[in-house]
Structure 1
Amino acid sequence: MTLFQNPFPVPHIPDDLTIPQFMLREPSQLPRARNIPWFINDKTGRSYCFEEVHHRTFGLANALSIKWSIAKDDVVCLFSPNHVDYANVVWAVHTLGGIISPANPGYTPDELVHQLTTAKAKLLVTHPVSLKTALAAAKAAGLPNSSILVLEKAHNLPNLPTLDELIDFGASLPSNYSAVRLRPGESKTTIAFLCFSSGTTGKPKAVIIPHYSIIANTIQTTAHFHLLDPQWPNKRFLPGDVILGVLPFFHIYGLVVIMHFTLYCGASIVAVPKFNFEEFLSSIHRFKATHLFVVPPQVVLLCKHPAAKNRVFDHVKMVVSGAAPLSGDLMQQVTKIFPNASIGQGFGMTESAATVSFIQADKKIGTIGSAGGLIPGIIAKVVKADGSLGKEGEQGELVIKGPANALGYLNNPKATAETFVDGWLRTGDEVIIKDNEIFVVDRLKEIMKVRGFQVAPAELEGHLLLHPDVKDACVVGIPDDYSGEIPLAYVVPSDAAQKEIQKGPAGARKIQKEIEKHVSDNKVRYKWLAGGVVFIDTVPKNPSGKILRRHLRDQARAERASRAKLVEAKL
């Protein structure tokens, strides 16, 4: 059997700790000085060191226990942009034995309702900027306003408790709870997160991630970079490093790599609530950021936006792109912008919680086209179309096994059985492995990656079919320089819509705009039909009725390439 794995061993992974015990109480292998902040507020510059993080976490835990009786297996939905107290909320809930379900703050009410009801959330923690959506979703999900709290005070807020009020309240009273204590092995099955992922098809599903997964992936990544080896030169992460936390914490990349791994390394995280490119550039300089974790659209801006020209980034020592493949051309451009930085990519997914591969520890510039080398503890195989195992350099689906793999999908045995097979995780990505590095070739699964976020075509198709002008629909992803991919909808118009379309271009455009608005009014922005709407006579399907999506995807890409050639010829 052809298996691929990193030759370096994984240090001991404790299986009897919760995440907050591992992060806040376990003696750190990479100790930081007491004056090195854990979190920094991007807007105000206010920093939070260990004592205050500890105080806020356990004060909040006490308040949650007293006011809402949060205890083992209760689910708390965290619906907020990045915030200095994001981790404190997570660890407070975990201390009580509860489960966090992080939600995208850009969700519409309907999307949030799906998460609240699927996860059976008992409490909703939100931010003033997300409150309108939170209130509407909570009402639709049957969650009373008394089960909502906000992270900050704001004008015109209804009478809802704020985090500071709760922390002060909890810290002023005797402890009302006993922190969860796990027996050996229990960390592997005690649920920490319900993170929503589209998996391979359909609406987002709740991925069951235990405490052990986050602890394991943190330790695996530490081993990958040899951070505990006193003899290893030029360590990539050191206590006192500054991480610009601009990637969303609700996403597995931000949640595990930034919020847990880099903190474990002794770094300070600047919590950036919303990405604005010029403010992002300012924050890099203001806080002397040493590490940038980004996605390809942000790399495009760094390379092409006028505001980035003539900037000096000498203090940046590492730039890592993840969540979607980064082209070789962009990699080469980034090396010119960050002359002192090691630059590379990583690969991971919600179901692997999170990192599978990372830029090699001994390379300043990652191999062009590579998503990095397998981290210690990951065993990988490449399964070809005929079911046989691929050798080095042969193409097939990446299937992995590792200590951080999730437990499956909540209340969805069918999807779990399709993705988690006999201890192995089917990634749905077609790859080549060479020298233990992963090269992503194509996506076998139908999911699109838009700005690093998963978008399931079936979800958009189901929504399109609710529109009276749509008889049938197929959504495909087409390449885009900024977003990686964008959704394009092939639509079979209804008879009434067809009559309007036959009147001429104005009628066709009117129908297209109405269909696009139908999506933009009900879906988070990255799911909008940025690729447009194309009318067709029929959606190609096989005899059993399954959409032959690849046919239309290939057609869309061929048409796009043809248009690009025409433009180039005119120039």
Structure 2
Amino acid sequence: MATFRSVFPLPHIPDDLTIPQFILDSQHPSRPLRPYTTPWLIEDHTGRPFGHSELSHRTFGLANALSLKWGIKRHDIVCIFSPNNIDYATTIWAVHRLGGIITPANPGYMVEELVHQLHATKAALLVIHPTFLDTAHKAAQIAGLPNDRIILIEDPPYSETTSKHTSINNLVDFGSNAPQNFIEARLKPGEARTTLAFLSFSSGTTGKPKAVAIPHYSVIANIIQMATHYKINDKSWKEKRMIPGDVAIAVLPFFHIYGLVVNLHYLLFCGMSVVVVPKFNFPVFLESLVRHRITHLYIVPPQVVLMCKHPDMKKYNLSHIKFCMSGAAPLSGELMEQLHKVLPNATIGQGYGLTETCTTVAMIPPTQKIATIGSAGQLIPGIIAKVVKVDGSLAVEGEQGELVVTGPSMALGYLNNETATRETFVDGWVRTGDEVIIKNGEVYVVDRLKEIMKVRGFQVAPAELEGHLLMHPDVVDACVISIPDEYSGELPMAYIVLSEAARKRISGNQDASLKLKAVLEKHVADVKVAYKRLAGGVEFIDAIPKNPSGKMLRRVLRDQARKLKVTRTESIRARL
């Protein structure tokens, strides 16, 4: 068998709609009817519901204000630098109404990382949470973005600094009370396939984070693919996984493709209410699950670990949860079994996807209550997959190789990066960089061929950390690899070749060696978001192993690090 695919056909996917027109204005045949009284979004800490009419009103008011005050129009790019917020959706849809493009940024970014995204996308506006105003000011100044183009996503406590910036609430009021200043973007048949909606950042298979160009059609297609997979509006299908009136919790960040497409847009399409959580705090998260009677959980493995092991779990009855899906990184069979004990009434499984595939490629089958151990899910309708072996030939069922996929939701490539695009996007197919086996239509991820590691579900590019380490005067070479971690999945660890002067300085002095390791860890921590820090530690090495062409042999050091971890663990146990 050369290719693998779902047996279920896809319904029509409109290619002349923007995302807000599809979500807010239309009724696709695969979409169930939402009762008028069922909220769309719910603010977690207040419980305040937001229905269709209010969200539509806020979207129009904000779009009109953006047009009036800054002239935002087709192809203009707006960066959102904020945790989850009710107006995250409003901002997305308002910019899309104007024909603009959203680039979501991780609010944990340090100045250097935000500058990279602003420069790469040439963003015209920056919508931020007031908490991150200092970082935003510094990054905007370096990127050449004027202060009056920084907007606050929520009203802050008054201060001299915050008073210089307007808020989304103020803009909604202004735009709602002013004559309409824009003509909404209308697409011709086929234009949604190439009209950009998002520039979402991913490291791809190698290198620094790159802007993935995602058109409106890709998001709409993936929503319809997931809806078809779970037969959410199929009258003959009785075991529906998602129904109008169900309540999901959006604890995954909307800047991440999983949270953006699945948690936000797909669940709204299903007629569900989505509880918007700005920041993950486990005890507070548990209280929210009970207070809102959450039925659906979309989480990542570190959160699964907490649900299986945290002592606070014993305080809560979570029998109302009927569906739990883990994604963004592999989930072990042991954790799946433990989670089933914690959530006895829930369907439990995994999903698999990438930013480059505009999210979902595979999900737990609609017929399974508990997913097959080790499976990342069943290929969803519209996805065609092939498994390419090392010699370039195509694997048959049960054989191992790199997963390569195509379908209607694939991104267009990387913005302004033809070299990286050619490496990952090949004749309409996306090279995932993951080594898999496909059996009975289900995907089993065996290993990661690409260099990118996953830390708590977030991508970390070794080259980015290595480049920063090489800026330190004591470092002449560096190789960052991943080590396994039960909570985070993987942790970055650095092997470092020191300069001659640094080697002499620490020679025979263990304290000096430990202090230098701490200095190098801080060198990274000072400028990188928390999940990119060297939590796996630093080890000094005489030389980085490389092949004849000079490419680093990461696998050699990865194997060495795992042995080192085992040795350390055994040493600790011996002392106990």
Q: Same fold (TM over 0.5)?
A: yes
- Range 554-563 or range 463-472, more displaced: 554-563
Q: Distance in 1 between matches of 2:345 and 2:87?
A: 32
Gaps of 5+ in 2: none
Match 1:302 to one of 285, 303, 307: 307
Match 1:135 to one of 115, 137, 140: 137
Give deviations 1:367-412, integer Å, cap 9, x for gaps: 0000000000000000000000001110000000110000000000
Q: Distance in 2 between matches of 1:508 and 1:5?
A: 54
**Corresponding position of 1:318:** 323
Match 1:176 to one of 161, 174, 181: 181
CA contact 1:469–1:511 (8 Å) conserved in 2: no
**Corresponding position of 1:254:** 259
**Corresponding position of 1:75:** 77
Gaps of 5+ in 1: none
Match 1:417 to one of 405, 414, 422: 422
**Corresponding position of 1:6:** 6
Q: Distance in 1 between matches of 2:305 and 2:506?
A: 37
Give deviations 1:313-349, integer Å, cap 9, x for gaps: 1100001000000000000000000011000000000
- Range 24-33 or range 107-116, more displaced: 24-33
CA contact 2:40–2:274 (8 Å) conserved in 1: yes
**Corresponding position of 1:193:** 198
Superposition pairs of residues 387-536 of structure 1, within 5 angstroms: 387-536=392-541
Provide the alpha-carbon RMSD of the alignment: 1.0
Q: Distance in 1 between matches of 2:32 and 2:11?
A: 14
CA contact 2:290–2:316 (8 Å) conserved in 1: no
**Corresponding position of 1:541:** 546
Q: Distance in 2 between matches of 1:184 and 1:174?
A: 30
**Corresponding position of 2:27:** 27
Match 1:265 to one of 264, 270, 273: 270
Q: Distance in 2 between matches of 1:407 and 1:518?
A: 36
Give deviations 1:13-32, integer Å, cap 9, x for gaps: 00000000000000252111
CA contact 2:19–2:216 (8 Å) conserved in 1: yes
Q: Distance in 2 between matches of 1:500 and 1:173?
A: 68
Match 1:216 to one of 204, 221, 226: 221
Q: Distance in 2 between matches of 1:108 and 1:367?
A: 40
Code of the residue aligned with 1:79 in structure 2: it is F
- What's the TM-score, normalizing by structure 1? 0.99
**1:121 counterpart SS class:** coil
Cα distance, 1:503–1:260 mapped onto 2, change above 3 Å:
same
Q: Distance in 1 between matches of 2:256 and 2:491?
A: 19
**Corresponding position of 1:101:** 103
Task: Find runs of 4+ consecutive structure 1 residues off by over 4 angstroms.
Answer: 565-571
Q: Distance in 2 between matches of 1:566 and 1:300?
A: 26
CA contact 1:516–1:528 (8 Å) conserved in 2: yes
Code of the residue aligned with 1:463 in structure 2: it is H
**Corresponding position of 1:86:** 88
CA contact 2:205–2:451 (8 Å) conserved in 1: yes
**Corresponding position of 2:359:** 354
**1:12 counterpart SS class:** coil
Q: CA deviation at 1:494?
A: 1.4
CA contact 2:110–2:135 (8 Å) conserved in 1: yes
CA contact 2:483–2:492 (8 Å) conserved in 1: yes
Give deviations 1:57-87, integer Å, cap 9, x for gaps: 0110000010010000000001100001111
Q: CA deviation at 1:560?
A: 1.6
**1:554 counterpart SS class:** helix
**1:346 counterpart SS class:** strand
% identical aligned pairs? 62
Q: Distance in 2 between matches of 1:120 and 1:473?
A: 31
**2:198 counterpart SS class:** strand
How many aligned residue pairs are there?
571
Q: Distance in 1 between matches of 2:238 and 2:330?
A: 29
**2:431 counterpart SS class:** strand
Q: CA deviation at 1:310?
A: 4.5
Q: Distance in 2 between matches of 1:10 and 1:500?
A: 65
Q: Distance in 2 between matches of 1:362 and 1:310?
A: 32
